[in-house]
Structure 1
Amino acid sequence: MTVEQNIRYSWAPSIIWSLWLIGLAAVPVLGGFDSRRLLLTALLSLIGLWAAIQRSRLPMGTAGVGALLAIAALGLLSAARSASFQWASLEVAYTFMLAIAAIALAHELARSSTITPASVATAITISVALCCFTVVIAIYASLISGMSFRAPLLTANFANIRFFNQYQTWTLPFLAAALVTGSPFVAIRDSFWRAFVFTIAAFFWALFWHSGGRGTEYATVIATTFVAISFGAAGRRHAGQMLACATTGLVISLAIYSPESATNAHMADTDLNGRAYLWLIAWRHIVAAPWLGIGPMQYAAIDTGLASHPHDAILQWAVEWGVPAAVLFVAGIIYLIFAWLHLARKILKRQRGGPHPALIVATTASLLAGGIHALVSGVIDMPASQFLLVTVTALAGGIAFAHRREIAPPDKTRLERLKNVALLGPMLLASGYISVFTVQDDYRRVRDPAPINIVRLRNTYQPRYWSDGTLTGLVRPPAPPDKPRRDTSSRPATAAK
C-alpha cells in the first residue's frame, strides 16, 4: 500500500491514538468517577464521528458486522420494553461505541508508522507510574496531616478501592513486559528504565497486597499460570517477572504497614460477600424475562441494597439484554480469544519481526485476567476499566491486523457499500446520543442536588455510569415472580468485594 492510500483509507489519524493515550495516562490522575466517564465519553464520540465522516473501509467481516448489529438491535428491543428507555439506550449506545473504538484504534495501529504496539504498552506503564505518583502524594499528605495510612486513602482518586483493583488487573502484566523489552526512550538507558519500572511495579504490588483485591489476585494468578504453560520460555519469563515484582511488593508492604495490615485478610477469604444474593436476583429476572431481559442498565434500578450490577458480566448481559444477546456476546468473545491465542503462538514461533515476545505474552495475560475478573466484578461497567478494555483489545487487534496484512483499500462492491451504510449510520447515531445524553445529564443530575431519600442514599456509592449511577428511586423495575422480601432498613450499603 502506498503512503497516499494509507492516509486516505485510515480510520483515524495518529492524533486519535495520541489523544486516547493521553486520556489513558490521565485516568489515575483525574479525581472522581465522573471525570473519567466524561473523558471517555468525549473520546468515544470523537472516534465515532471521525470514522463516520471518513466513511472508511470497515476492518470487519460480514459476520462480525452482522453480529455487532444484531446485539445492538436486541439491546434496543430490550430498551424499548424497559422502564427507562433513555437510560437503557445509553448503555446500548455506549457498549456499541466501546466496540467501535476498539476496532477503529486496532485498525489505525496496524497502519500507523508513529504509534506502535510498544508505544501503547509504554503508555500503559506511564499511566501506572502516574497512579503511583498520586499515591505517594496521598501518603505525604497523610504524614504531614497526622492521618493514619488507610487503603482508601492510598487510592484517593478512585471512587471505590475495587475500581482501583480492576485497573491493576489490566495493567500488572505490562509492567512485567516493560522489565524485559528495555527502554523505549533513546535518552534513557535500559538499566535505568528497568530500575524505574521495577520500583513502580513493586510499589504497585504493595498497594495490591494492602488493598485486598481478591478478584485481581485470582484473575492474575490464573492468567499468569496459563501463559507460563502455553507460551514456553517467554511465558515462563513473564511469570518469573510477575513473581519477582509481587514478592518485592509484599516486602515493601510489610515495611510500610504492620504485619496485620500489610496483607488484607480479605485476600484469603472464600466468602462471596453478597455475590450469591446478587446472582440470585439476576437469575430470578432471567427466568422471568429470558428473551429480551429487563433492559440494559436496568439492574441498577433494583433496590438490592448492595450493588447496581450483579458482579458477573455474563449474568449482567443475560438479565439486562436477554439470553440471546448474552449468547452472542459470549460466543463472539470466545471466538476472538481463541483466534488471538492461535495468532499469538504463531507470532512467538517466529524468530524475527513483529512485536517483542514479552509484549505478546503481556497482552494475552491482560486480556485473560480482565475477562476472568469480569466474572466476579463490574469490570465492564467502570470507566477506568473500560479505558483499558478498549486499549488492550485494540492493541491485540492492531497486532492481528498487521500480522494478517488486512490493510488493503476498500472494495467498491455493493456488499462493501452496504456494510458501510449498515454500520456507520448506527455509529453516527450512537456517538450523537451519548454526547447529548452526557451534556444533559451532567447539567441536570450531576450539578443539581439529587433528591434525598433513604433508598437513594443507600445506593449512592454503587456508581454504574455517573457519580450517582444507581437508577433506584428513579425507575420502577419489573418485579420477578416470587420476589424475596428485602431489607428496607436505612443501613448504608457495602459493596461486594
Structure 2
Amino acid sequence: MDAAWTGRTKIWLVLTLLITAVMVFGHGLGGHTLQRLGQVVVAGTAVVFLFCCRTSYAVVLVDRPALLACGSVLLAGIVSSLYAHQPLWALTEIALLAASCCCAEAFAYTRRTSGVSADRLLLLFVVFICVFKSFDFLTLAFHSFVSGTGKLDTGGLLSGFSNKRFYGQFQTFTLPLLALPLLLSTTKRSAHVWTFLLLSLWWLIAVAGGTRGTWLGMGVAACGLFICGHSGRRWITWQVLAVLAGVALYWLLFSVLAGYLGMEVSNAASERLTTTLSDRGPLWQQAGEMIREHPWLGFGPMHFADIHNPIAAHPHQAILQWASEWGIPSTLLVMGLVGRGLWATFILIRERSTSDEPTDLLRLCLFASLIGALTQSMVDGVIVMPYSQLWLSLVVGWLMGIHVWKGEPTKPNAFIHWSWMGLSTAAVLFLVYVVIRDFPHLDERNKLYQQQYGGHFQPRFWTQGVIAIKPE
C-alpha cells in the first residue's frame, strides 16, 4: 500500500482512538449519552474512511456463507421492523447494528493494510486508557482517605460510566489484552514489571467494582484458553498472579488501611458475593413470554423496551434479547455465525499454541477478550451499551484483520461492496437523524418518563431507553 493510503489509515485510527478515549475521560463526562454520541461519530468516520479506500472490497474479511447469513439476518430484521409497534425505533436498532459492523470492517481493514504497526498503536491505546483509569481510581481513593469524612464508598471511585457494571464490561474487554506484553519474549524486564503492576491494578478495580459478569467472563475465557495449549496456560498463569495481587491490594487498602484510619467502607466487595440473579428473573420471564408470542419475527428490534417494566429496558441476556426482538430464526443464524467464527479462531490458536510470534499471542488475547465479553453478555447488557458495542467492534475487527485463511474464499465483488457501503451510509445518516431529533429534547423526555412511570432510568439507546408510551 502506498504512503497516501497508509497515512489516511493512521489518521482515521488515531482519530477513532482519541474519540474512544474522550468517551470515558473525566467525571460526569463519560455518561451513556456522550458515549452514544461518540459511537455515532466513530461510525460516521468509519464510513467516510471506507469510502476513501475504494479498493477495500478486494480485501477478504468474510466468506460467502457468512455474507449470506449476514444478509439473511439483516433482511429478517427489516421485515420484523416493518411489523413492529414502533418501526422507527426498530430501524434505529438495525442502523446501530449496521454501524457497528461498519466499524468492525474499518478496524479489520486498518489491520490488514497497516500490519503490526496497527497492533502496536492499538495495544498502546489499551495500555494508555487503562493507565489513565487506574490513576483516576487511585486519585479518587487518595482523596477519600484524606478527606476526613470517615466514610469511603468504593462505588464512587469508578468514574466515566453511568453504571459501574458498564465499567466492568469495559474491563472484561481489556483485562485479557493487558497480559499480552507479559507473554512476549521481546518485552524488557522493566516493562514486564510495569505491565504486571498495571494488570494487578486493573484487577484491583475489578474487585472494587464487584461486577460478577466480569469474573464470570474471565473465568470462562480462562477455561477456553486452558485447552488452547501452552500459550493459553501461560496467559492463565499471569492472570491468576495478577488476580492474587489485585485481591491483596484491595485487602490492604480497603480493609487494613481503612480499618487503621477508622473509616467506614460502603459497597465493599464482600457485600456483592451473592448468587442471586439481581432482578434478572422477571426480565428473562418477560423475554420468554415475548418469544412464545412472536417466535418467528419477534416483537421488533429494540422492542423489549416497548413493554415497560420497573427493572430494565433489555433482558440482560443476549440470546433472549435477540430471540424476543428479532425472532428465533434470526437468533439461530447469529449464533451460527458467532460459533463459526469462534471455532475458526480456536483451531488457529490450537495449531499455533507453541508459537512466540506476537501476532499469534495477540490472537490468543483477543480471543479471550471476545469469549469473556460474550459470556458476560449472557448476564449483562454487553450488546446494548454504546461503549461496549464499540469495543466489541474493535475486538471483532482486530481478530478479522489478523485471521489467516485456510483457503482463500471467493472475494466479494464490487456490487456487494458498494451495496454494503450504501447501506452503511444510510444507517449512519439515520442515526444522525435520531440524534438531531432527540438530543435537544432529552431532558424533556426524561422528565416525561419520570412523570409517567417514575423510578430509575433504564438505558437502551439513550440513558432513558424505555420507548413504551403510557396510554392516556
TM normalised by structure 2 equals: 0.88
**CA 1:238–1:75 in 2, change beyond 3 Å: closer, same or farther?**
same
Would you say 1:289 and 2:294 are equivalent positions? Answer: yes
Supply the AA of the counterpart residue of 1:157. G
Contact 2:154–2:267 (CA<8 Å) still a contact in 1? no
Amino acid at match of 2:192: R
Q: How does 1:54-453 map to 2 (within 5 A)?
A: 54-58=53-57, 59=60, 60-113=62-115, 115-147=117-149, 148-181=151-184, 190-228=188-226, 230-258=227-255, 264-265=269-270, 268-350=273-355, 354-400=357-403, 416-446=413-443, 450-451=447-448, 453=450
CA contact 2:298–2:323 (8 Å) conserved in 1:
yes
Structure 1 partner of 2:461: 465
SS in 1 for 2:152: coil
Q: Give the direction of change, closer, same or farther, for the CA distance of 1:272–1:448 in structure 2 (3 Å limit).
A: closer
Percent identity of the aligned residues? 25
Secondary structure at 1:105 match in 2? helix
- CA shift, 1:137, in A, is 3.0
| Shift in alpha-carbon separation, 1:276–1:320, aligned structure 2, 3 A | same
How far residue 93 of structure 1 moved from its aligned partner, in angstroms, is 0.5
| Cα gap change, 1:225 to 1:307, in 2 (>3 Å) | same
Could you report, residue by residue, the CA deviation over 1:299-344 in whole angstroms, capped at 9, with x for unpaired residues?
A: 1122221111111101101101111211111111011111111222
Name the residue aligned to 2:261. none
Closer/same/farther in 2, CA of residues 36 and 366 from structure 1, 3 Å limit: same
Post-superposition CA distance 1:156-207 (Å, at most 9, x none): 22111111111111111112223333788xxxxx333333222222222122
Secondary structure of 2:448's counterpart equals: coil
Measure how far apart 1:438 and its partner are.
1.5
Where structure 2 has 5 or more consecutive residues not aligned to the other structure, the ranges are 257-264
| 1:235-284 Cα distance to aligned partner (Å, 9 max, x none) | 11111110111001111111111379796236542221222211110010
**Once the 2 structures are TM-superposed, how far is the Cα of residue 64 of structure 1 from its aligned partner?**
2.6
Measured after TM superposition, the shift of residue 366 of structure 1 is: 0.8
In the superposition, relative to structure 1, how do residues 469 and 262 fare at CA in structure 2: closer, same or farther (>3 Å)? closer
Q: What is the aligned-residue RMSD (CA, Å)?
A: 2.8
> C-alpha distance in 2, partners of 1:136/1:435?
37
Contact kept in structure 2, 1:12 and 1:47, CA below 8 Å = no
Q: CA deviation at 1:449?
A: 6.2
Give me the whole-angstrom Cα distance separating, in 2, the residues matched to 1:204 and 1:350: 27
Letter paired with 2:428: S
Alpha-carbon distance change, 263 to 226 in structure 1, aligned in 2, over 3 angstroms: farther
| Counterparts in 2 of 1:266 and 1:384: CA distance versus 1, 3 Å | farther
1:96 partner amino acid? A
Q: Deviation of residue 138 (structure 1)?
A: 2.2
Give the letter for the 1:151 counterpart: T
* Aligned partner of residue 160 in structure 2, secondary structure: coil
What is the TM-score of this pair, normalised by structure 1?
0.84
**Partner SS for 1:149:** strand
User: Number of aligned pairs?
Assistant: 456
- The residue identity in structure 1 corresponding to 2:189 is S
Greater Cα offset, 437-446 or 451-460:
451-460
